[in-house]
Structure 1
Amino acid sequence: MEDVTYTKGIYTATAAVRPVDDGLYQGVVALARDDGDEQENTVYEVEATSATPEEALEEAKALAHRILGEIEF
């Protein structure tokens, strides 16, 4: 399953999926901030697990949209 990337200004959010215990999947979002001098990275996890990687990716994409939506310049 391919990662999905969103950009807002100097921020890039990458939604991805990782397998967890019991055959479940968890969505994760890596947020990168690149202001030219340095780059900061933060990883966010979707709280719930999903039965399929497709569901987990949808949850990660929703989290990425919420994170980028809260960023103000």
Structure 2
Amino acid sequence: MDMDDTIYTKGLYTATLGVRATDSGQYQGLVSLARDDGGEETDATLYEVDASSENEAEALEEARALAHRILGEIEL
């Protein structure tokens, strides 16, 4: 997995994509959204894709779409 494909930034916000296996053997996409305002601490919010996917690649695509929606809603 190419790391350039898993991190997106918009202004002070950074969205990092991830995937985790579910108990049912499927995969779920994740987006961690952090705001960097120059301080030492950055608070991150974890967003989960609602649907499960059959494989990691699909889950990552779902996480990518979610990240674009989240960042698209942020007004700078």
1:33-52 matched pairs, under 5 angstroms: 33-37=35-39, 38-52=41-55
User: TM-score with structure 2 length normalisation?
Assistant: 0.89
Structure with the bigger percentage of strand: 1
Give every structure 1 segment of 4 or more consecutive aligned residues whose post-TM-superposition deviation is greater than 2 Å.
Answer: none
Matching residue of 1:67: 70
Matching residue of 1:27: 29
Q: 2:13 aligns with which of 11, 14, 22?
A: 11
* Cα distance in 1 between the residues matched to 2:2 and 2:48: 17
Q: Deviations over 1:15-51 (max 9, x none)?
A: 1100001210000000000101242210000000001
Runs of 5+ in structure 1 lacking a partner?
none
Runs of 5+ in structure 2 lacking a partner?
none
Alpha-carbon shift at residue 2 of structure 1 (Å): 5.6
SS at match of 1:72: coil
Question: How many residue pairs are counted as aligned between the two chains?
Answer: 73
User: TM-score with structure 1 length normalisation?
Assistant: 0.92
RMSD: 1.3
SS at match of 1:28: strand
- Of all paired residues, the percent bearing the same amino acid is 64
